[in-house]
Amino acid sequence: MEIPYTVTARKDTGLFNSKIGIWLFLASEVMLFGGLFSGYVFLRIYADYPWPERALPIVPGLINTFILIGSSVTVVFAWASLKMRQWRRFQIYMGITIVCAGLFMVLKSIEYKAKWGHQAVRMDDFTIVEGHTHYGAIMSSGEIQHFHKKDKAKEAAKKDAEAYNKKAEAEARAEAEAKGEEFAGLPEQKKWQAGDYFKANTILFKPDTVQFSLARAHKSWVNDLLEQAGKRQAAFVTGEDVFLYGDIEDYSGSEEKPKSKAERAQEEAEISKKVASGEKTARKLGRNSLFIPAGTPLSYALLKEAREIYLAGRAHNSGTRTAILRDNWKRVKEERPDDKYWEQAPDAQIDSATQLEEQFDEAGNITAGSKVVSIVSTLSFRMDPPQPLIIKRGWVKRPVKESDGKAELKDDTALNAGTEERAEVAPGLLESPLALSVDAVDFRWMAQKAEEANKKPLDVIEGSWIFSDGNKHAGIYRKLWKLHKKRIAHLEQELKEKYGTDEEGNAKRVPTETERYRMGWQDLVHYARVENGEQQVVPGEAGFDDLRPKFYDGFAGPSHKDEEIQKLHAFPELEIPHEKVSMQSMFTPKWNTYYAIYFTITGLHGLHVVGGAIVLGYYLFFSKGLYRRNPEWLANRVEVGGLFWHFVDLVWIFLFPILYLM
């Protein structure tokens, strides 16, 4: 059966089937993007923090706008060429359309890359700092060195490793010659691994012991710690014998004759002696038990095996608690046969955990008839020798304090500093500032909090850490802030003269919160040019505004590789102490709601661009046969694809001003 109106249009509506279909599809697309745009508007209006304004580089967005508008024109020309049966022109115009789609995605990729490599920090006093992170390298001496660029950190780590291995090889060769042995080369495990560099937005901790939770130890984190230890010629080993039980028969013998604590300790001691003397002993003591002798190296496989025993013991004790509750309720119900509310009786409301603890006496022995197991939930490993470990700030459960001597990770792993005797060997938290070259300082959130507390924003801002003596770079930021206040004062006067005042004498136009309390990268470059000029100028003087970067400078945002900016030192350094960092992230959806929406909408729009380009590309490269058989049918298809492409263009025309200009 032939389906009507696939090529020719209905006379009453002037539409063919696929055009009706695309209009229905586009209606659903309007609802999708309409919901996203509406959500953005409401989240911006009711945001409880200063919303980012003009945070995206305008030039790539503006170029992409013209690219999509141009592609919408060329796709119409391609359709018209088919209508006029001009295949060569169709190929040219459709090819231009697809090239435009490619250029659009290239510019979006550049923009995305800049965001994913741009560091943002919120301090505990609500100061927002933006910039590019420095890099650090761990030397073989244990010293930490910071560098502005990754290549320099990598090269320094490589040279240090080469020097260390050369010295170690010479010492090993001399030792072998002294013994009259042939030197076969330095073993791999004794070599210091090159290239051990890291981003300076991490925490450095030198532990004596590391305690892993058997229930939650994260595999990739365990393997990361093992890899770091291997690079630094260190190992994680158990410090003492550990016996794990998950079954009552393994733990205390039979139910009729349970073992006492002393008997169990004696049995464990005998097993330890056999292991120490070199006798082979099965690590499995029973169906659900495990013996881990002292000196056993860490591996995730070992933690996984121990986890099975732990879970078996926990399941066993859970069943015991349930049985205790069931027996108690049964007894209470039998004692109160006529009481309809026996569940509310005091002796019916028991704590199963307390009942479980009562299965042990004061000496730690299991009481007769008990069926519980004393389980081990963590395994501790000694780091031999202690070496600095790189921990991502996102791993830690709470800020690490030097006084605590401990770093707790989100999987309940605990890194512990050394004891008083070993404090110098394993001091715990090392100096871990978040080091970066700053290209923006934002005090808007701090000003908002000050106003909520009925305080003067400027007083609170100028009393913040970034201007305090605790910041070794404070002098630079005080100078920048002083110049910024002068510029804003001049801007206030300029707006007052231009727009006048109201009946009460207040200026009709004043600087925005963003202009007043935020120093963006354009401001920092502007002030650096003012300070470093041969003849200093102040706000209001001729030439002051000419030194400010134009909107087209910085194609994808602040460039830390620009030679002029590097010579001016426009982006000052800053080292934020670990305890001052409230949150840190790249400019990703994690940073705030604005970027979550930005990546969601632009990412979804980008998928539409790619999908549309694939369909149009199919028409260009694989439709010559259809053109020869039925050119009108191909023209209809291109028209439908063009309608979708116009919609993609229209969405971007809304996206550009909302996200880039407002």
pLDDT score for 197: 79
pLDDT score for 498: 87
6 inside domain: no
Q: What is the total count of domains within the chain?
A: 4
Tell me, yes or no, whether 494 and 578 share the same domain: yes
- For residue 204, pLDDT over 80 is answered with yes
Q: Which of 524, 556, 586 is the last residue of a domain?
A: 586
126 inside domain: no
Would you place residue 175 in the very low, low, confident or very high pLDDT band (cuts 50, 70, 90)?
Answer: confident
Stretch 291-314: mean pLDDT:
90
Stretch 235-239: mean pLDDT:
92
- For residue 70, pLDDT over 90 is answered with yes
Express each pLDDT in 542-593 by its tens digit.
788 888 888 778 888 888 888 888 888 889 999 998 889 899 999 999 999 9
Task: Assign residue 609 the CATH number of its domain.
Answer: 1.20.120.80
pLDDT score for 351: 65
Express each pLDDT in 377-397 by its tens digit.
899 999 988 988 889 888 888
Stretch 631-654: mean pLDDT:
89
Of residues 525 and 180, more confidence is placed in: 525
Tell me, yes or no, whether 229 and 355 share the same domain: yes
Percent of the chain with pLDDT over 90: 41
**3-state DSSP call for residue 270?**
helix
Q: Are 17 and 6 in contact (CB under 8 A)?
A: yes
Burial 135-173 (b: 16+ CB within 10 A, else e): bbbbbbeeebeebbeeebbbbbbbebbeebbeebeeebe
Supply the Cα-derived Rg of the chain in whole angstroms: 35
* Residue ranges of E strands in 148-241: 197-199, 202-206, 209-213, 235-238
pLDDT score for 1: 47
Tell me, yes or no, whether 183 and 217 share the same domain: no
pLDDT score for 453: 94
Tell me, yes or no, whether 582 and 448 share the same domain: yes
Express each pLDDT in 123-140 by its tens digit.
999 999 999 998 888 887
Query: For the residues of 107-151, what is the DSSP string, one character each?
Result: HHHHHHHHHHT-EEEEETTS-EEEEEE-EEEE-TTS-EEEESSHH
Would you place residue 183 in the very low, low, confident or very high pLDDT band (cuts 50, 70, 90)?
Answer: confident
Determine if residue 253 is left, alpha or beta; phi over 0 gives left, psi from -120 to 50 gives alpha, anything else beta: left
Q: Are 77 and 89 in contact (CB under 8 A)?
A: yes
pLDDT score for 321: 80
Amino acid at the residue 308: E
Least confident of 24-28, 256-260, 583-587, 618-622: 256-260
Tell me, yes or no, whether 163 and 206 share the same domain: no
**3-state DSSP call for residue 205?**
strand
57 inside domain: yes
Q: Look up the pTM and report it.
A: 0.81
Express each pLDDT in 431-486 by its tens digit.
888 899 999 999 999 999 999 999 999 999 999 999 999 999 999 999 999 999 99
Tell me, yes or no, whether 385 and 466 share the same domain: no
Tell me, yes or no, whether 416 and 446 share the same domain: no
Of residues 363 and 661, more confidence is placed in: 661
2 inside domain: no
Tell me, yes or no, whether 38 and 96 share the same domain: yes
**How many Å apart are CA 73 and CA 649, to the nearest integer?**
11
- For residue 650, pLDDT over 50 is answered with yes
Tell me, yes or no, whether 602 and 537 share the same domain: no
- For residue 353, pLDDT over 60 is answered with no
pLDDT score for 261: 67
**How many Å apart are CA 539 and CA 532, to the nearest integer?**
15
Tell me, yes or no, whether 504 and 624 share the same domain: no
**How many Å apart are CA 648 and CA 74, to the nearest integer?**
14
- For residue 293, pLDDT over 70 is answered with yes
**3-state DSSP call for residue 171?**
helix
pLDDT score for 429: 86
123 inside domain: no
- For residue 356, pLDDT over 60 is answered with no
- For residue 299, pLDDT over 50 is answered with yes
pLDDT score for 194: 63
Of residues 121 and 256, more confidence is placed in: 121
Name the average pLDDT for the chain: 85
The parent domain of residue 176 ranges over: 135-187
Question: Could you tell me the strand order of the sheet in which 197-199 lies?
Answer: 144-147, 135-138, 197-199
- For residue 88, pLDDT over 60 is answered with yes
Express each pLDDT in 558-572 by its tens digit.
888 888 888 888 899
Tokens representing residue 242 in the block: 């550990």
**DSSP run (H or E) holding 439:** strand 434-442
Helices (H), 453-583: 457-462, 474-499, 513-517, 521-532, 563-568
Q: Which of 398, 414, 429 is the last residue of a domain?
A: 429
pLDDT score for 238: 92
